Amino acid sequence: MYTATDKRCTLSELISHLKTGDCLAIGGGLSCREPMAALRELIRAGISDLTVIGSAHGIDVDMLCGAGVVAISGESYVGFEHDFGMAINFRRACESGQVQARDNCCYTLVQQLRAAIMGLPFMPIRSVQGTSFMALHSEYKTMICPFTGDELVLVPALSPDVALLHAHYADNHGNLYIEGAPVADMLFAKAAKKTLVTVEKIISHAELVQKGITIPYFYVTALCELPFGAHPTSCYPLYAYDRKHTQHYHHCAKQGAASFQADYLQPFVYDCASHDDYLARVGASRLSELQNWQHDWLRCYE
Amino acid sequence: MYTATDKRCTLSELISHLKTGDCLAIGGGLSCREPMAALRELIRAGISDLTVIGSAHGIDVDMLCGAGVVAISGESYVGFEHDFGMAINFRRACESGQVQARDNCCYTLVQQLRAAIMGLPFMPIRSVQGTSFMALHSEYKTMICPFTGDELVLVPALSPDVALLHAHYADNHGNLYIEGAPVADMLFAKAAKKTLVTVEKIISHAELVQKGITIPYFYVTALCELPFGAHPTSCYPLYAYDRKHTQHYHHCAKQGAASFQADYLQPFVYDCASHDDYLARVGASRLSELQNWQHDWLRCYE
Amino acid sequence: MNKCSIAEAMIYQLALTIEDGGLVFHGYGSPLVQIALHLAKRTHAPNIILVAGATYAVNPTPVFLTPTSNDAAMAIDAECTLDITELFDLAASGRMSRMFLSGLQIDGFGNLNVSRLGVDRLSLKLAGGGGGCNLSCDAQHLTLWTAAHRTEIDIQGKRRYRLVKHCDFITSVGHKTVDGKPRAAMPYQGKGANRLVTELAVFDFDEKGQARLIELYPDTDVEMVKTHTEFDFVVSSTLSVVPLPDAGMVAFMRSFDPLGVHRREFRESELKRFFDY
Amino acid sequence: MNKCSIAEAMIYQLALTIEDGGLVFHGYGSPLVQIALHLAKRTHAPNIILVAGATYAVNPTPVFLTPTSNDAAMAIDAECTLDITELFDLAASGRMSRMFLSGLQIDGFGNLNVSRLGVDRLSLKLAGGGGGCNLSCDAQHLTLWTAAHRTEIDIQGKRRYRLVKHCDFITSVGHKTVDGKPRAAMPYQGKGANRLVTELAVFDFDEKGQARLIELYPDTDVEMVKTHTEFDFVVSSTLSVVPLPDAGMVAFMRSFDPLGVHRREFRESELKRFFDY
């Protein structure tokens, strides 16, 4: 329970709460509201050997795999859907053995997080048995239900070391407001040992209450204001998904691991000492276009 | 799943979904947002032999006990706190054996409802063991956790036949908006086989979306517009708790079962063919005072 | 005469598997299914509770079909919204009427693989199954589908089947588990797949839980289906040709997907198939 | 010289059991505890996460103390709000720092009864324990309290004890269950009661889990406490007199409860007890 009056800190201070070897739950999902700036900082900070867990992910997990900082993936999906298809870095890392692919399923993950949230050693679940996930996850156990005689699967509690989220607004105390689909962010914040948050804008508590509070302050360890912190993923209604940037990203990944390092990670991660440097590299005019998605939404995808 | 386009009906149609012998979960809590008009109709309709379940209740459960329509109480609290103390009718009915007191505890109830919501036969829980609730509830079972070796209590799923709620606003489709503390209303709506709702006002879907949707339409079986439907409990910010009426209620109950029948149930329940009759009996000036609580809040309690 | 593409005909078959009144869900990365749900809602199944994958928006009116599912454009004008917990709880409690699942491998009992190829060692890592594993057990009914039933012959002269005898990994379950347990012996809420829709044919599942060919497209035949299917299947005695969408439906599908996202499910060669309606 | 009432002195003892920084909860129907939490938050424990029973408002600024807890007046200006599931989950996961519980019967190990009197047959049905059963296991620490420690002698000349040898029913657990299991043998998250505050005395609990007298009020003594306590207890070697609130605290308590709701916990005769501070 985090009760400091003022949770604000710099991006590097925020990321200093994360350690090599940690189990990391990344907020957002697919092309939406990924804490990308914090992930770039994590890579720059040399943190590695991470276990990542989550449901539907894309560039976030793929970039971490491409940077070589992931040891185990417990995600249920990592890909670019029908936009760009396979997550190339993720796939390469799994196939080479660099990343151990311990795939999970969405509801199994939900129930494991809930067990942690409720202080239970496990949650029962009807599904999963009969699939190959049982062999992949030897930590799952089964029991005969004393009420029905049914065989149930018991999935153990999962408490990530760190939940890393990107929110729209926060107050100094760490109360958060997230707009649109919350994905698993609330579950992560409640289940994790620490919750680290980047936020588009810090506003007064009174203004935040007007919007509504999505996640109460006491789950939040530390907080960093970082406009465009989700770029190139979206943070509607503030800005749309940067499909062109993602296309470039995917193209670099496709050229091979070395090209991805040289042509994407070098310019957009390693060479950017700060988030401002990154935004400058992306360019103000591009950012302005993304903010003005409502003028011609279809154009974002052309 | 209830998908009718227009869920609106009369109060007697609403209550016709409830049957003698049903397990009933009543929304709201203590002096707040109890579906009192629907409970009065239920008594008039001659429905009886109910099992009531819930967490913190007062006049709602007490009135049903006073009317002799409850067979089993699975509540965790029935009383009037420091306002009027004991729930006289409830106590009398339990002590006479008319009502079987199968008290529950708040979180045990939450976990039993959650089991129903998740389609599980039970939920594990750490607490309860070591208390007399284990003997009172022979349906609870225990297990040794295969992960930790701890002994856990397994509490069975609880799916009420009917959840009876009072909400602030709804649209025709049954989407609901509830303001302030939701108590267990959402759990009840999700766990119950049918959800019956009285509502202060039915508004357009567009207006409802502006306020926010607390409970999606497909949980809602039927819907009846009934201004002041929670009276004498509160429905802030629309109206305050009618403490004077509740004082009169409690006074009648204190005089004995016969007095309660003659002096409270007769005039305020049996003699009121409709909710409008009831409101007329309470009086427009009194209702207007309750609407204007913000002028002098303290006065509501003097 | 008007023509619809194989993609549009196939989307229509998916839509036809939806009964009115229940909760129907599409996952992410499923443009055919996304269009099929919205088509069904606007035609024969107006009362479905349509839940969009990724955003969990209920009964939205998407601006246009985006190639990435978690875009606000897909959630516009939602009647209400759920979240990941509520949607999966509804399924787990038996209240999801139908879900749609695809896979890189589909066996004759409806088991699917979308996790990985390679039995002894990982030879191809796929994106993963999302919630399909759980929902294949929990949803009342499943529609299985693939737009890549037709096999190609690889350099070694071997066919790489989509409809296989055995999956390398079971991401989601069909009517019989790989160790031979029938679905009825499992504590699942759902009854499993009752349709498998491909770009060559439509199957149902017989009382033994095995895929049975029930419909062909105007340009396919039983032999062709057999050639491209590794598992054995029975042919229904009432084998027929799929119904085709009408002009209004086709117009809706085209306006709903101005970017043609759904076409990315198909090989270019398939998209040359058109049917008169 | 300023004077505080026994009620105010007792509320202060309750407040003193609160450590700064944790999540602290008061249930419904607990005016003494409600005032104690707000007093603590305004004095030595400004960083507690104060959660109000019934409304689940976090850090509210009540307009005044209402005699019924689920009143919007109690939730005003809440920093944020929880609901019944989130609050109890926080406790169940070991994240509730302290909870306050009372009972019509309290035994020497801190077991409480607030459900019913009568062992063989129900002789008095009480309101019930709310969430006390669960929270007595889950909350990290408990403060037990009663404002009716002093016994009266009934018509048969018998004392009806509040602090009893044996409870008729165990609503919530103490340091040893009735079948003799120590708390440490149970899978609870919480460590149990470390204070029992009454209008006559303050107890802590020794290493055996038994109530031990540690503090008296200026007008009580050990003999008096023994007279009104059915269970046996040890007297601490460092027995002292309770600290008293200061003028600011007393002023706060009075302004917070203009209706004097907290006085309803006490017999009229007790409320004549005042202490100079």
Which CATH architecture group holds B11-103+160-291?
3-Layer(aba) Sandwich (3.40)
pLDDT in tens, chain B (302 residues): 999 999 999 999 999 999 999 999 999 999 999 999 999 999 999 999 999 999 999 999 999 999 999 999 999 999 999 999 999 999 999 999 999 999 999 999 999 999 999 999 999 999 999 999 999 999 999 999 999 999 999 999 999 999 999 999 999 999 999 999 888 999 999 999 999 999 999 999 999 999 999 999 999 999 999 999 999 999 999 999 999 999 999 999 999 999 999 999 999 999 999 999 999 999 999 999 999 999 889 998 98
| Integer Cα distance of A81 and A250 in angstroms | 12
Instruction: Give the integer Cα–Cα distance in Å for D168 and D180.
Output: 16
The CA-atom distances, in angstroms, between C126 and each of A79, A85, A233, C229, D91 are 8, 10, 22, 21, 40
Contact C133, A131 (CB under 8 A): yes
Give C221→chain B minimum CA distance, Å.
40
D27: its two tokens:
């249930």
Which of C71, C86, C102, C263 would best serve as a mutation to test chain A binding (most A beta carbons within 10 A)? C71
**pLDDT digits over B169-183, tens only?**
999 999 999 999 888
Touching, D vs C (3+ Cβ pairs under 8 A): no
DSSP string, D105-146: EEETT--EE-SEE-SSS-SEE----TTHHHHHHHSSEEEEEE
| Touching D: B residues 45-64, CB under 8 Å | 55-56, 58
CA distance D1 to chain B (A): 31
Query: Do B124 and A126 count as a contact with CB atoms less than 8 A apart?
Result: no
| Chain B neighbors of C95, CB-CB under 8 A | 1
**Token duo for residue B280:** 């007329």
Sort strands A100-101 and A85-86 into parallel, antiparallel or unpaired: unpaired
Burial class from Cβ neighbours inside 10 Å (0-12, 13-18, 19+) for residue B205 reads middle
Give per-residue pLDDT as tens, C69-96.
999 999 999 999 999 999 999 999 999 9
The C-alpha angle with vertex A123 and arms to A70 and B22, in degrees rounded to 5, equals 145
For domain C102-240, give the fold.
Answer: Glutaconate Coenzyme A-transferase (3.40.1080)
**Minimal Cα distance from A149: which residue of B?**
B121
* CB nearest to B122's CB, from A122, A125, A147: A147
Find where tokens 């003659």 sit: B262
- Interface test with chain A among B139, B141, B142, B147, by most A beta carbons within 10 Å: B147
Strand order in the sheet with D163-164: D112-113, D105-107, D163-164
Task: State whether residue B150 sits within 8 Å of chain A by CB.
Answer: yes
A121 CA: distance to closest CA in chain B (Å):
7
Cα(B296)–Cα(B61) distance, integer angstroms? 29
**How many whole angstroms separate alpha carbon C88 and alpha carbon B58?**
34
Q: What is the pLDDT of residues B56-76, one digit of tens each?
A: 999 999 999 999 999 999 999
CB spacing of A234 vs C72 below 8 angstroms: yes
- Other C-beta atoms closer than 10 Å to the C-beta of B189 total 27
Structure tokens at A143: 């029991």
Q: Which helix H or strand E contains B250, and what residues bound it?
A: helix B243-254
Which three-class secondary structure string do you get for chain C?
Answer: CCEEEHHHHHHHHHHHCCCCCCEEEECCCCHHHHHHHHHHHHCCCCCCEEEECCCCEECCCCCCCCCCCCCHHHCCCCCEECCHHHHHHHHHCCCCCEEEECCCEEECCCCEECCEECCCCCCEECCCCCCHHHHHHHCCEEEEEECCCCCCECCCCCECCCEECCCCCCCECCCECCCCCEHHHCCCCCCCEEEEEECCEEEEECCCCCEEEEEECCCCCHHHHHHCECCCCEEEEEEEECCCCCHHHHHHHHHHCCCCHHHHHCCCCHHHCEEEC
The answer to whether C134 contacts A107, with C-beta atoms less than 8 Å apart, is yes
Instruction: Give me the residues paired with residue B50 across strands.
Output: B70
pLDDT computed for residue A39 by the predictor: 98
* Pairs of CB atoms within 8 A across B/C: 40
Per-domain residue ranges of chain D? 1-82+242-272, 102-240
In the sheet that holds C211-216, the strands lie side by side as C80-81, C57-58, C49-52, C23-26, C98-101, C141-146, C193-198, C201-205, C211-216, C234-241
* Among the partner residues D122, D127, D131, nearest to B107 by beta-carbon distance: D131
Residues 6+ apart with CB under 8 A from D33: D14, D26, D27, D100, D145
pLDDT in the model for residue D152: 87
Centre a 10 Å sphere on the Cβ of residue B27 and count the other Cβ atoms it contains.
30
Predicted local distance difference test score (pLDDT) of residue B286: 96
For B211, nearest residue in chain C (alpha carbons)? C80
Distance CA A226, CA A230 (A): 9
Q: Cis peptide before B156, with omega less than 30 degrees from 0?
A: no
Kindly report the CA angle at B42 between B40 and B47, in degrees rounded to 5?
A: 140
Subunits with at least 3 CB pairs below 8 A relative to chain D? A, B
Q: Do the Cβ atoms of A108 and A125 come closer than 8 Å?
A: yes
- Residues within 8 A of C (CB atoms), B 162-201 only: 173, 175, 190
Q: Do C80 and B205 touch (CB under 8 A)?
A: no
**D172 contacts in chain B (CB < 8 Å):** 131
- Output the pLDDT for position B114: 98
Higher-pLDDT residue of C202, D179: C202
How large is the average pLDDT for residues C39-59?
97
Indicate the angle between helix axes A243-254 and A59-66, nearest 10 degrees: 40
Q: CB of A161 within 8 A of CB of A194?
A: yes
Selecting from B125, B146, B212 the residue whose C-beta is nearest the C-beta of A154 gives: B146
Tell me what pLDDT residue D104 has.
96
Q: What is the value of pTM for the model shown?
A: 0.98
Low-confidence ranges of chain D (pLDDT < 70): 1
Averaged pLDDT for residues C112-137: 95
Q: Are C26 and C49 in contact (CB under 8 A)?
A: no
With beta carbons less than 8 A apart as the criterion, state whether A21 and A52 touch.
no
Q: Which residues of D touch B150 (CB under 8 A)?
A: 187
Is the backbone peptide bond immediately before B232 cis, with ω within 30 degrees of 0? yes
Q: For position C168, what pLDDT does the model report?
A: 97
CB-closest option in A120, A143, A150 to B146: A143
Residues from chain D contacting residue A3 (CB–CB below 8 Å): 21, 47-49
User: Cis before residue D62, ω within 30 degrees of 0?
Assistant: no
Question: Which residues, in sequence order, are bridge partners of residue D5?
Answer: D274
D-facing residues of A in 215-234 (CB < 8 A) are: 216-218
**Residue C1 pLDDT > 80, yes or no?**
no
In angstroms, how far is CA A285 from the centroid of its own chain? Answer: 27
Is there a cis peptide before residue A35, judged by omega within 30 degrees of 0?
Answer: no
- In sequence order, the β-bridge partners of residue C125 are C116
Q: What confidence tens digit (pLDDT) does each residue in C243-261 have?
A: 999 999 999 999 999 999 9
pLDDT score at A189: 98
Q: Say how far apart CA A27 and CA A20 lie, in whole Å.
A: 19
- Interface residues from chain D to A (CB-CB < 8 Å): 21-23, 47-49, 58, 79-82, 86, 89, 92-95, 97, 138, 189
Are A194 and A163 spatial neighbours (Cβ–Cβ below 8 Å)? yes
Asked if the C-beta of A107 comes within 8 angstroms of chain D's C-beta atoms, the answer is: no
Contact between chains at A91 and C264 (C-beta distance less than 8 A): no
**Preferred mutation among B111, B117, B118 to probe A, highest tally of A CBs within 10 A:** B118
Option in A118, A175, A216 nearest D92 (CB)? A118
Intervals of chain A under pLDDT 50: none
| Mean pLDDT of the C34-51 span | 98
